[in-house]
Every structure is written in structure tokens, then in C-alpha cells.
Amino acid sequence: MGAFKETKFPANAPASQKALGWVDDRFPLTKLWNDQWGKYYAPKNFNFWYIFGSLAMLVLVLQIVTGIFLTMHYKPDANLAFGSVEYIMREVPWGWLVRYMHSTGASAFFIIVYLHMTRGLLYGSYRKPRELIWLFGFAIFLCLMAEAFFGYLLPWGQMSYWGAQVIVNLFGAIPLIGPDLSLWIRGDYVVSDATLNRFFAFHVIAIPLVLLGLVAAHLIALHEVGSSNPDGIEVKENLGPDGHPVDSIPSHPYYTVHDLFGVSVFLLIFSTVVFFAPEMGGYFLEYNNFLPGDSLKTPLHIAPTWYFTPFYSVLRATTADFMWVLMFAVAAYVAFLWLKSRLSGMVKTVIAAVALVAIIGMLPSVLDAKFWGVVFFGSSVVILAFLPWLDHSKVKSIRYRPDWHKYVYMLFGIAFIALGYLGTQPPSPVGTVVSQICTLYYFAFFLLMPWWSEMGQFKQVPSRVTYHAH
């Protein structure tokens, strides 16, 4: 075993420096700080789109801290849960503030994550060599959805109770294992005290542990290959005499100040919502959730929270009549693949066989539309994970792609927002048709990306990042 060597400091060195040296001799605190932020060199042309990663970390900490305080007074019991939330709101000193910070923080988390993913989409942050960063980010997104779903039941309000009932029952549409899977998730034949207890365990312990591990993996992978930038240029390919990229700057103090400004603006907006509009018109906190859950009284319109509604609209758009359109779309896509794809004949044959089985399964006499709604609901989320392998563009950043690509992205954003809005509204004939059109465009955006992403006249990518001093 090697001899332990303790760092020596001058006798007149500050006590804080000596204390830090003592820690560094036993734990690489300073090294971790320098590697992950202090001396981590990032491209110098970051814009406001690069604030949302830090904001997501801030909101994660905020949710954990407020969640800890809420669990001190919350009771995971079907007979006491709603009353304990009311007790927190009315009797616990500043309990209303902690509860509103937590509920507003949940919506803020998804807003920030969606914007963070939008930045990745615009600037090709998922492209080589950052595929693993994207996959870790996608896993984080799945965990956030699970965390929000499990937490949604805990207030035991009307929308919480019936929303959980509807979502869990969706799993029952899966052939063979569906009913048993729904029963296993609920822990009972209906949403009950057993369901509440297991959802509480997942929300408070299991999912947060997985989430923290994925966030650490996401950051480690990011700092291993380096950050992307709005130009999509690999700054590590142009090093200076000091061994650092010439187009990069240390994260501290430059991006520390940059992010602190973003944090200040965010906290101003966040505080305004918490103090003046915590329900946000019924989108952040539904009005039905201020009524205790009643298994004998169904709300007129049951819908999940707004951050699930784009995918929920896909599920709701899958009606029996729409199945014929989907069957035609699948057949047309397979024919297109056969004619235009560079895949081998064997792979094309397998895809065609799978598609044929799917088309047969879509017939009304085989599998009903509810099952396929669940399939497309899940597929609309999972397809995001394949983005690094679907995008065949010659350049990474939207800045240097053909101008018409911007309209493709813009229409995708409009379709996604439209699906989200329609998911919050009661079903209607017009709304159903619009959601079906948006669903087709949503999937076409990804499934046709290998072709449209490499079409058009691309602009020349500069050899160095474009940067204008503020």
C-alpha cells in the first residue's frame, strides 16, 4: 500500500483553505468541481437555449426539498390523504406555500424539459458522439412521467382518483396480460388504499433514486464528450496551445453568471405563478382536485395533467374509424421503405412481415381500437429515443439546414401543442379530426426523417463557431 501524503499549507494559510485541503486529501471535492464545472470548458457561443439544463437541475432540487417537507405532514391513507393535504394548506405554517411550490414546480419541470429537448432538436445535440447523452435524457423524461403519474394520485382528489383509474385501466387493453397487469399496478380491483400506498412508495423513494442516478449519468456523459453548440461544430477538433479548445471558455465564472441570470428570470416568473395563479386556470391544479375522491361520482371530463395531454391525445385520436386510415398509412410506409430505403432485402422482408401482422391486427374483428390507442400512445413517447438514428442530415444545426426544414420543425411544434391543448378539452367531432391529423404528422415527422432530413440545399458550416460579444 502506498504511503498517505497530506497536503502541506503555510502556517498563515486561511483556515478555510486548510479545511478544503484536508477534505481533498480524503475526497476529490475540488477535482470534482473542476471537472464538472469549475474548469470544464464549454463552447463560447451558447445562447439562451442553453439555460434550461441548469434550470432543470434547480427545479429537481426544489421538488426534492419541498417534497420532503410535504411528506412530514402527508398521510398515505385513502381515508386521510385528502384531509392531510387540506391540513397542510390550512394549518401547517407556510404549508400552502410549500404545496404550491411543489405543484407549480411539477409543471415548471416539464416546461423546462420540453424546452431543453427542443434545443436538442434544433441544434442536433443528439447526433454523434452524443447519442448516449440523448438516451440518458430520454430515460430521465420517462422517469419524470412516471414520477408525475405516481404523484398525481396522492392528493386523493376527484381528478387524481379518476385520472389514475383511467390510466391504469389502459393497461387492461393489452392482450393476455392486460387484466393481470392492471391488477398488479393497482394492488386491488379498483384504485384503493393499496394503490395509494404503492404509488406513494414509488413517488417518494423508488423513482427519485433512479432519477438522480440518471441525471448523474447524463452529466458525466455530457462532460466526457463535451457540450454541443448552436453551430453544431465540434470545438474539441481545434485545440489551442494550452490544450483547451480555442472556441471554448471555462464554465466558471462565465456560464455561472449566464445561468444565474436565467435563474433570476425563472424565479421571478415562478414566484409570480406561485403567489398569484398557482392553479393556472385549472391547468396546473384542476378544480376537481379540490374535491375529495369519490368512487361513486365520475367527473364529466377526465383528463390527465397538461404535460401528458399531447400523448393522451394520440391515444384518444385512435378511434375505430381512424384505424382504416392507419392501416393505409402503415401499408404506404412499408411500400415507401421498400422502394426508397437502403436497408438490406432481409430487413425489408422482416419489416413487411411485421407490418402485415399489424395491419391484420388492426381489423375490427381482431383487436379493438383501444388496444391500438395504447400502442400508439406508447410509441409516441418511445420514438423520441430513436432520434439520433433517424436524423440523416449532413449538418447538425438548424442554422445550416435548408430554410424549408424550419417550417417542418415549426409545423411539428404546432402539431405537438395542438395535441396538448386538445387533450385538455372534452372530446368533440372537430377536435377528434384535428388530433388525428396532428397524430399522423407527429409520426410522419420521425418516420420520414431519414429522407427529408437529407433533402435540400445545405449551407456551408463555418470552420469555427460564430460568436458575437454581448
The binding site for a ubiquinone comprises 223
Dihedral of CA 221/227/231/233: which sign? negative
Distance CA 401, CA 455 (A): 9
Residues 235-243: contacts with CB within 8 Å, 24+ apart? Answer: 235/43, 235/465, 238/463, 238/464
User: Does residue 403 contact residue 458 with C-beta atoms inside 8 Å?
Assistant: no
User: Does residue 130 contact residue 228 with C-beta atoms inside 8 Å?
Assistant: yes
- Helices in 244-386 by DSSP H: which ranges? 256-276, 309-317, 322-340, 345-361, 369-382
DSSP 117-135: HHHHHHHTTTSTT-HHHHH
Provide the annotated binding site for heme b. Answer: 102, 116, 203, 218
Phi and psi torsions of 153, nearest 5°:
-75, -25
Provide the annotated binding site. Answer: 102, 116, 203, 218, 223
Question: What's the number of CA atoms in the CB half-sphere (13 Å) around residue 37?
Answer: 12
Distance CA 45, CA 351 (A): 43
Please, what's the largest Cα pairwise distance for the chain?
A: 86
**Number of Cβ within a 10 Å radius of residue 364:** 10
- Set of cell numbers at residue 251: 464554465
